[in-house]
Amino acid sequence: MTDRKTQLAANLAQVENRIAAACLAAGRKREEVTLIVVTKTYPASDVRLLAELGVRHVAENRDQDAAPKAAACSDLPLTWHFVGQLQTNKVRSVVGYADLVQSVDRSRLVTALSKGAVQAGREVGCLVQVALDAEAGGRGERGGVAPAGIEELGDLIANAPGLRLDGLMTVAPLIGEYAGRQHAAFERLMVLSTDLRRAHPAATMVSAGMSADLEQAVAAGATHVRVGSAVLGVRPRLG
């Protein structure tokens, strides 16, 4: 058994190789893709080791776990992303540490985030989470707004004090027409991103791809990949 830092370094190197190979295959520059390490269920000590190994972006999906972890790591040069389904009663806490919220999927959440960000004196970057499997007007099983709802939500974010519209995020659907077709799903997200950027040119982030499908996301044009288990190990079921 090697120690934890050695293990994380080896995993990170493997993920880095995968991203570099995917960029090469797609004719993209490596700098066009940012790695976000999803540290959910893993301790603050791992976040610290990752920062020592050069990681600059981390993501969490539950405020109860994320808030104490972010507090324990507040001395580190990290950008914190919130990627989980977010209840409005957690917003006040989340805007205290999250630089970006990637899971914005309803107008009530925009209102709450705006109020919280203004109260905290912070600017919070927002991504509209897109549910490619949702019916128009509905939300996805794992959160997210249907493609038809992106424009309205994007405009709302762009006009909300304390918030900045940064782009789009998705999780490849497990059901519906895109089930098992990650590349098609991510290409659809790119088209939706192009549409959004017509009205909001600065909303350039496209967050897609996880441990299992980061290659497909890079091939489609993702600017950010969110990788958890390939770096930290397989999570116990509760995460």
Ligand X SMILES: *Cc1c(COP(=O)(O)O)cnc(C)c1O
Q: Residue numbers of the site for ligand X (CB under 6 A)?
A: 38, 40, 61, 83, 171, 210-212, 226-230
Is-contact 37 55, C-beta < 8 A? yes
Residue with tokens 């990949």: 225
Give least dist CB 164 to ligand X, A: 20
> Which CB sits closer to ligand X, 101 or 112?
101
Give least dist CB 121 to ligand X, A: 27
Contacts 24+ apart (CB under 8 A), 16-22: 18/214, 18/215, 18/230, 19/214, 19/218, 19/225, 21/215, 22/214, 22/215, 22/218, 22/219
Residues making up the chain, counted from first to last = 239
* Spatial distance between the Cα atoms of 120 and 68, rounded to a whole number of angstroms: 17
Give least dist CB 226 to ligand X, A: 4
Backbone angles phi, psi at 198, to 5 degrees: -60, -40
Give least dist CB 201 to ligand X, A: 26
Helix locations, 125-181, DSSP H: 150-158
- CA distance to 3, 34, 80, 112, 119, per residue, from 9 (Å): 10, 17, 20, 38, 39
* Spatial distance between the Cα atoms of 71 and 224, rounded to a whole number of angstroms: 24
Give least dist CB 28 to ligand X, A: 20
Give least dist CB 169 to ligand X, A: 8
